[in-house]
């Protein structure tokens, strides 16, 4: 079985709902392999060495809101230095001086959103495309490729219509592992 796809989500502290959206979208993709999702520690949480989770990630997701707070800068520098695929999203909101400076100085292709549902549509499009770009390395099967291509076309149509459909339950905004369907279907009583 393939290893899980590893996302690292670097986010402004107030973007908890948006972190949830990232986890929900990843969990809803029709893949047999699972996901490992690590996040920027929230204020008051311990801060592990970033080189581990950022260094091991397949995709680095940047969610910028009101503040560009520590350790976001160190996480971003590490991801860029290692050449990680970067998906950058910026919320329309009032900004602290550090967030304003990040927008001005960082030469990123920002996807701009206003609400979590906007992010849901944008992230779905970008995540599906990033997974498709890495299909051989990830080890996707033909059926998975076909479902992702269909999902990509549907995401583009929903974006044009202005409706994001993938929804989920809470707690997807915390670091964790999402089991792939292959593991779950093998032994649903005890997948581990």
As a whole number of angstroms, the distance between CA 145 and CA 86 comes to 21
Condensed to tens digits (0 to 9), the pLDDT of residues 8-23 reads 999 999 999 999 999 9
Q: Which helix (H) or strand (E) holds 36?
A: strand 35-39
Give the model's confidence band at 35: pLDDT under 50 very low, under 70 low, under 90 confident, else very high.
very high
Condensed to tens digits (0 to 9), the pLDDT of residues 71-83 reads 999 999 999 999 9
pTM as predicted: 0.81
Average pLDDT over residues 31-38: 93
Give the model's confidence band at 162: pLDDT under 50 very low, under 70 low, under 90 confident, else very high.
low
Taking the mean position of all CA atoms in its chain, how far away is CA 170? Answer: 16
- Of the candidates 65, 127, 151, the residue with the CA atom closest to the CA atom of residue 102: 65
Proportion of the chain above pLDDT 70, given as a percent:
82
Q: In order of start, what are the domains of the chain with their CATH numbers?
A: 5-165 (3.40.50)
Condensed to tens digits (0 to 9), the pLDDT of residues 110-151 reads 999 999 999 999 999 999 999 999 998 888 899 999 999 998
Up-side HSE of residue 64: CA atoms within 13 Å toward CB? 28
User: Cis omega before residue 71 (within 30°)?
Assistant: yes
């Amino acid at each position: 079985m393939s290893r899980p796809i590893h996302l690292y989500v670097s986010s402004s502290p107030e973007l908890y709902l948006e972190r949830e959206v990232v986890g929900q979208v990843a969990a809803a993709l029709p893949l047999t392999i699972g996901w490992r999702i690590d996040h920027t520690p929230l204020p008051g949480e311990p801060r592990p060495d970033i080189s581990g989770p950022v260094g091991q990630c397949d995709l680095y997701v940047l969610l910028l809101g009101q503040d560009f707070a520590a350790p976001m800068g160190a996480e971003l520098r590490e991801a860029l230095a290692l050449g990680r695929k970067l998906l950058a999203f910026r919320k329309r909101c009032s900004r602290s001086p550090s967030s304003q400076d990040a927008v001005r100085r960082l030469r990123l292709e920002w996807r701009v959103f206003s609400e979590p549902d906007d992010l849901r549509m944008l992230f779905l499009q970008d995540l599906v495309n990033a997974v498709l770009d890495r299909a051989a390395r990830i080890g996707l099967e033909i059926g998975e490729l076909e479902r992702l291509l269909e999902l990509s076309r549907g995401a583009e149509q929903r974006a044009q219509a202005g409706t994001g459909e993938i929804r989920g339950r809470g707690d997807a905004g915390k670091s964790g592992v999402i089991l792939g369907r292959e593991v779950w279907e093998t032994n649903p009583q005890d997948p581990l």
